[in-house]
């Protein structure tokens, strides 16, 4: 329950005070020298950094949308209906293209992250399989060693 309260409190903290406040809250909830406190602190600081990066990217994308919009000149004579429709269609297409580019970039990033997760899972599976093989090899070596000792002991008894 303490974890949920600490995490909920941290999500409300402004980015300026984040690191020190996170550390203080965790130190209040847990013993500062405990491994759990260190792990929780690391995880929450990483989450805070990811949150700040996401907010920064979101602000940049919003700014990019506004930068690419052409400001209208108030002194231009009004366009006739066909030209106005064509201009609106053109503007919507440009906005749609920009949004498509942004979505494509996000999809590529998500795909890259997914591929990294797959590679990490495969690496973990290989390591686990290696551990199993090493354990089996150690058991087999121990069995062979025991057989050799039994054989040598039997020979020693027969050669008085």
- What are the DSSP calls for the chain, one per residue? -HHHHHHHHHHTS-GGGHHHHHHHHHHHHS-TTSHHHHHHHHHHHHHHHHHHHHHHHHHHHHHHHHHSSPPPPTTSPPPPHHHHHHHHHHHHHHHHHHHHHHHHHHHHHHHHHHHHHHHHHHHHHHHHHHHHHHHHHHHHHHHHHHHHHHHHHHHHHH--
Percentage of the chain lying above the pLDDT 70 cut: 79
Q: What is the pLDDT of residues 63-89, one digit of tens each?
A: 777 766 666 666 666 668 888 888 899
What average pLDDT does range 102-126 have in this prediction? 94
Whether 6 shows a pLDDT value over 60: the answer reads no
Domains of the chain, by residue range, sit at: 1-52
For range 34-63, the mean pLDDT: 83
């Amino acid at each position: 329950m303490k974890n949920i309260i600490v995490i909920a409190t941290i999500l409300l903290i402004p980015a300026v005070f984040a690191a020190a406040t996170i550390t203080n809250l965790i130190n209040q909830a847990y013993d500062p020298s405990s491994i759990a406190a260190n792990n929780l602190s690391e995880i929450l600081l990483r989450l805070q950094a990811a949150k700040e990066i996401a907010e920064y990217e979101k602000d940049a994308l919003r700014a990019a949308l506004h930068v690419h919009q052409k400001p209208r000149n108030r002194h231009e004579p009004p366009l006739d209906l066909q030209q106005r429709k064509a201009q609106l269609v053109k503007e919507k297409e440009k906005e749609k293209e920009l949004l498509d580019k942004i979505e494509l970039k996000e999809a590529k990033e998500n795909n890259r992250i997914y591929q990294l997760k797959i590679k990490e899972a495969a690496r973990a599976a290989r390591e686990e399989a290696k551990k199993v093989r090493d354990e089996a090899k150690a058991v087999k070596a121990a069995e062979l060693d025991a057989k050799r000792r039994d054989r040598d002991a039997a020979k020693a008894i027969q050669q008085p």
